[in-house]
Amino acid sequence: MDTRTTLLAVAAAVVLASAVGVVAAPDAVDDPRGSSERPGDVDIADVVVAPGEIRGETATLELRVDLRHRGSTAENVTVRHRAIDASSGLLVDQTTVDVGDVDGGGETAVNGSLDVERAGGYRLETVVYVDGERRSQQRTRVAGVAALTPAYANSPIGFTDGNVWPTVAVSVADVNEETATLSTSVSVTNRGDNASGDLELRVLLRQADSNVVADEATESVGSVRPGRTDTITTTLEAPDGYNYYVDAALFDDDVLIDETQGVANLDPQERISANETVEDVAFEVGDFNRNQTEDVERTEDAGAEQEREATGDATPGFGVLVAVLALLAAAHLARRRR
């Protein structure tokens, strides 16, 4: 057998082997660029936290998660929420929301909730899983939960907070031997949209040095119209020559809804002032640093790996292209030898 016949036989063998490979793996030669549909993926677009039901010792935090979907259908999607005490690092509550399959692109809203004690602050962790695999997470900081008012104590009625007009005004109505009669006026304002129901005003007259209650009184507060301020007046008696704190509290069906303080200076040698040391506590929500960048990089790396695998699988053995080139080279060499 001459050289030309040998080369032609080798080329035919290569073509035959490639054809067998194509038959055995028909998807191996598919161009990976021909498929434009991305693998289904879901990540967190935003997390919003709002107060829910507020009770005496505990509070419910409502969480709304916006999930962003890309590619084909993401199957078996779940969202897990955790509340972790900011001071101790202990797990306080955990809940999992079963979302199911997510498709169609765009964003999907998922609602969840956590129950925490009405004190301190918390770290809220939200994690998204697709078919049991963690895909995205976000941490949210919550502080000042103690500032949330329970539903039973949430009232638009409260003591007047004015810059000039006193909330508690005390005057000496009469002095009899060693006893002073004090006339105490307390201002109450309705900041709501409806008239208030019947409330109760309780006033204590407390000696400044000993904290002994010298006298107390209870007055009924009638209905206060929206945006109006009413003044309730009561009379207290105490030994003359001492200084007193006037503690006032508003109650609605034995529930304390507001409190304030005034003074009565009856000691000519010494004066006191109302306790102005007030620590403002507010409910606050903030975001920690999110790991969305890591999520995107992980997703892109996975996509690149899939593309590399598809490209590698598309050329088993010599491949069709190599076989054709071998056949052309053999024919060219045969022509030159002639």
Q: What is the CATH number of the domain that holds 53?
A: 2.60.40.10
- Look up residue 220 and give its two tokens: 């009924």
- Look up residue 151 and give its two tokens: 């539903």
State the pLDDT at residue 274: 80
DSSP string, 81-133: EEEEETTT--EEEEEEEEEEEE-SSEEEEEEEEEEEESSS-EEEEEEEEETTE
**205 and 126 both lie in a single domain:** no
**162 and 190 both lie in a single domain:** yes
- Look up residue 55 and give its two tokens: 């009770």
The answer to whether residue 76 sits within a structural domain is: yes
The answer to whether residue 301 sits within a structural domain is: no
Contacts of 311 (CB under 8 A, 6+ apart): 32
**159 and 143 both lie in a single domain:** no
State the pLDDT at residue 318: 46
More confident residue, 20 or 177: 177
Q: List residues bridging with 240 in a β-sheet.
A: none
Reply yes or no on whether the pLDDT at 33 is more than 50: no
State the pLDDT at residue 293: 40
State the pLDDT at residue 104: 79
The answer to whether residue 299 sits within a structural domain is: no
The number of residues making up the chain comes to: 338
What is the number of domains present in the chain?
Answer: 3
Contacts of 30 (CB under 8 A, 6+ apart): 310, 314
pLDDT confidence band for 80 (50 / 70 / 90):
very high
Q: List residues bridging with 76 in a β-sheet.
A: none
pLDDT confidence band for 4 (50 / 70 / 90):
low
**101 and 139 both lie in a single domain:** yes
In percent, the amount of the chain with pLDDT more than 70 equals 70
Report DSSP state, residue 262: E
CA distance 148 to 152: 12
**171 and 72 both lie in a single domain:** no
Q: What is the pLDDT of residues 212-241, one digit of tens each?
A: 999 999 999 988 999 999 999 999 999 999
**107 and 207 both lie in a single domain:** no
The answer to whether residue 255 sits within a structural domain is: yes
**123 and 167 both lie in a single domain:** no
The answer to whether residue 200 sits within a structural domain is: yes
**135 and 159 both lie in a single domain:** no
Reply yes or no on whether the pLDDT at 132 is more than 50: yes
* Of 6-20, 129-143, 178-192, 233-247, the least confident: 6-20
Reply yes or no on whether the pLDDT at 181 is more than 80: yes
Reply yes or no on whether the pLDDT at 118 is more than 70: yes
Closest CA to 258 of 196, 324, 173, 327: 196
The answer to whether residue 45 sits within a structural domain is: yes
**164 and 118 both lie in a single domain:** no
**57 and 133 both lie in a single domain:** yes
Spatial contact of 192 and 165, defined as CB atoms under 8 Å apart: no
DSSP string, 216-245: EEEEEE----TT-EEEEEEEEEEETT-EEE
Residue numbers of the domain that contains 136: 41-148+283-291
- Look up residue 138 and give its two tokens: 């976000």
The answer to whether residue 56 sits within a structural domain is: yes
The answer to whether residue 304 sits within a structural domain is: no
More confident residue, 256 or 277: 256
pTM for the whole structure: 0.60
**217 and 68 both lie in a single domain:** no
State the pLDDT at residue 324: 54
- Look up residue 153 and give its two tokens: 């104590």
**99 and 185 both lie in a single domain:** no
State the pLDDT at residue 12: 61
Spatial contact of 48 and 142, defined as CB atoms under 8 Å apart: no
Across the chain, what does the average pLDDT equal?
A: 81
Spatial contact of 66 and 46, defined as CB atoms under 8 Å apart: yes
Q: List residues bridging with 216 in a β-sheet.
A: 204
